[in-house]
């Protein structure tokens, strides 16, 4: 008897194997996708958190900077959505050299009642001031000051770049009030900056980052008005 020729047996995956493999792959894919999504969520949350924290620090730093040199306590806008901070105008834009601001002049005067004022411009013997404005609009806060970076106006001159957004994702304007516990003249200003930013882009209701930073600043140039 002649032996039947042997054919190499074709080994395939059994259905069961395929099902198992597919299941495992699905598990891996699902796990991976879940990890990616989680990582993306984590990335988004971290990014949002870090950005908002940076915004908070920036806003506090700007407010502290401007309030320290203010000549009077800040005034709140009528709609409660902004403040005006008056700052002595010691330095003035000079069109001949737009990259620098020059000291206006030097001089000081004591008024007849003994109060003092510093006039840096003898040609204009009065205290000149500039106003720095903070406004809240659509969750962002802008800051506009007369010493904003200058940009070319296209005709050889320079103009202020205008209000700059310094913080985003806020749900309200900061609380800025005189700290009457310390001082009744308004020279000490207390302010709280709270963010209730919603994580983006996976916005979920009530899933917010709410952090309040507190600061107290003494209005150091207030004596100028005394």
Partner 1 sequence: MIIVCVLSVVAGSLLLTTVARYHTTFQSASWQESIVAAEAGVDLAMNELRKRVVQGPSASFQTGWTTTSPATGKAYPGFGHAFPNGGQPYNLPAQPNLEGNTTTQTRVYLDVPGSDTAPSNFAVANDNSFISQLDNPNLRDADGVDRSRWWYRIRALGIAGVSGPPRPNIDKRDNRLRQISFFNDWRTGQSLASPQAARLVEIVARPLTNFRNALMADKTINLSNQDVLVDSYNSSQGYYSSTTNHGNMGNIATNGQLINASHATVDGDAMTNNGTVTNGDNITGQQSSNFYQELTPLTPGMLNPGWANVKDPGTLTTDATYTASTDATNPTMVHLDGINLPVGGHVVNLAAPAAASSSNGTSTPSYIKVYVQGDILTNGTSSISVANGVNAIIYFTGNVNLQGNGIINGTQLARNLVLNGVQPPANSDGTYPSRTINIATTQDFEGIVYAPNHDLTLALQTVAAGANATTAGNVTYTGTNPQIPFLISRINTTMTQVDALQSDYQTQLAKYDKNGDNGAFMKMQNDQLQINQQQTLISQLAFNVYQLGGTIISLTASQAADHAQGYNGIYGGFVSSTITVAQKTHVHYDETLRTAGPVNHYEIVNWFEDNASRDATGGTEQFWWPSASAR
Give the footprint of partner 1 on this chain (CB under 8 A).
Answer: 29, 32, 35-36, 39-40, 42-43, 46-47, 50-51, 53-54, 57-58, 61-62, 65, 68-69, 71, 88, 90-91, 99-103, 106-110, 112-114, 116, 118, 122, 147, 149-152, 164-166, 182-185, 187, 220-221, 223-224
Q: What angle do CA 127, 141, 185 make, to 5 degrees?
A: 45
* Residue 19 preceded by cis peptide, ω within 30: no
Among candidate residues 104, 169, 111, the one with its CA nearest the CA of residue 136? 169
> Which helix H or strand E contains 56, and what residues bound it?
helix 15-68
Question: Residues 169, 55: contact at Cβ < 8 Å?
Answer: yes
Question: Residues 22, 13: contact at Cβ < 8 Å?
Answer: no
């Amino acid at each position: 008897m002649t032996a039947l020729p042997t054919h190499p047996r074709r080994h395939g995956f059994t259905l069961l194997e395929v099902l198992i493999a597919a299941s495992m792959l699905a598990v891996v894919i699902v796990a991976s996708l879940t990890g990616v999504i989680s990582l993306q969520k984590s990335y988004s949350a971290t990014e949002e958190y870090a950005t908002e924290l940076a915004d908070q620090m920036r806003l506090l730093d700007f407010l502290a900077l401007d309030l320290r040199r203010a000549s009077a306590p800040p005034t709140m806008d009528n709609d409660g959505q902004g403040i005006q901070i008056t700052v002595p105008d010691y330095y003035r834009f000079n069109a001949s050299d737009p990259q620098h601001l020059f000291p206006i002049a030097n001089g000081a005067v004591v008024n007849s009642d003994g109060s003092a004022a510093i006039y840096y411009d003898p040609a204009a013997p009065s205290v000149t001031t500039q106003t720095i404005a903070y406004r809240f609009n659509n969750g962002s806060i802008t800051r506009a000051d007369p010493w904003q970076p200058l940009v070319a106006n296209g005709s050889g001159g320079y103009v202020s770049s205008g209000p700059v957004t310094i913080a985003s994702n806020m749900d309200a304007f900061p609380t800025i009030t005189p700290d009457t516990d310390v001082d009744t003249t308004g020279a000490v200003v207390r302010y709280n900056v709270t963010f209730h930013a919603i994580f983006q882009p996976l916005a979920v209701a009530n899933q917010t980052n709410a952090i309040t930073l507190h600061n107290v600043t003494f209005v150091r140039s207030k004596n100028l008005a005394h």
